[in-house]
Amino acid sequence: MPKLRPGFTVIGIDEVIQRYKELQPDGKFFDPLNTAFFASNTPKQAYCAPEKAAFFITGESFRNNRKYTVRVLDWETGEIGNIGPFNAYARSHARKIAIKTANDVAKGAIQLSEVRS
């Protein structure tokens, strides 16, 4: 696993959901009906660059085949975007992408605007 830059934090997904709801009070991303429809699950951890973004993964199941998507929550706007293609990764690979991207953004190696698709 890549080393995380000092100041970069691992946070709980509940903190991400809370921040999203504060910034997007009418947002539906974490709505229970949506997550049930997509048979979606979200692991308990996210990777946070303070005042920039939180990076996390979601798993969606189609035809009994679960794949994962890497997500980013913009810490200022509450917008959620994908990093890479939707529903394309094994869980361990998605997690590695989330950590590497979070680390790169935290270090300033890439800008947040460069990672969203």
pLDDT, tens digit, for every residue of 31-60? 988 888 778 888 899 999 878 999 999 998
What is the average per-residue pLDDT within 62-74? 91
Query: Is there a domain that residue 88 lies in?
Result: yes
pLDDT the model gives residue 34? 82
Query: Is there a domain that residue 1 lies in?
Result: no
- Tell me, what DSSP letter sits at residue 88? -
Residue of 96, 90, 22 whose CA lies nearest to 59: 90
Instruction: Specify whether the CB–CB gap between 84 and 68 falls below 8 A.
Output: no
Question: How many domains, in total, are found in the chain?
Answer: 1
- Tell me, what DSSP letter sits at residue 77? T
Query: Is there a domain that residue 45 lies in?
Result: yes
pLDDT the model gives residue 35? 84
Query: Is there a domain that residue 74 lies in?
Result: yes
pLDDT the model gives residue 7? 52
Query: Is there a domain that residue 2 lies in?
Result: no
- Across 32-36, 89-93, 97-101, which has the greatest mean pLDDT? 89-93
pLDDT the model gives residue 33? 87
Instruction: Report pTM.
Output: 0.88
The token duo for 23 is: 């910034």
Distance CA 107, CA 83 (A): 18
Question: φ, ψ for residue 54 (rounded to 5)?
Answer: -120, 140
Range of the domain at 22: 9-115
Distance CA 102, CA 48 (A): 7
Question: φ, ψ for residue 19 (rounded to 5)?
Answer: -60, -45
Query: Is there a domain that residue 49 lies in?
Result: yes
Query: Is there a domain that residue 98 lies in?
Result: yes
Query: Is there a domain that residue 3 lies in?
Result: no
pLDDT the model gives residue 79? 95
